[in-house]
Amino acid sequence: MRILAGQDQEYEGTLQLSPGIKVGYLQQEPQLDMNSTVLENIAPALAPTKAMLTEFEEVIQLALRGSADHQNSYFCIPAGPSRHVHAV
């Protein structure tokens, strides 16, 4: 597959694709920066999830601050089918 995708140039012979044929190649091994730590290498992939978690935590803190004025109040945050987060 690497030859078909043009990723491997070290082979003998010729390769000719028919007009209009597109070849894609999905690497099975990620390209890692050997000068970085494991965490630094995976950080870009985790960034969207980390951003959502940070936003969720901010919303919870705002809700908790808002409910601090009411002694017996609570709020409910939907967290998917049949699950809810309750804060008192």
Domain ranges of the chain: 38-87
pTM assigned to the model: 0.43
Give residue 9's pLDDT.
78
pLDDT tens digits, one per residue of 15-64 = 788 899 888 778 788 889 999 999 999 999 999 999 999 999 998 888 88
Q: Which has the higher per-residue pLDDT, 85 or 57? A: 57
Give residue 4's pLDDT.
75
Nearest to 24 by CA among 7, 41, 9, 11: 7
Q: Using alpha carbons, list the distances in angstroms from residue 54 to 49, 60, 79.
A: 9, 10, 16
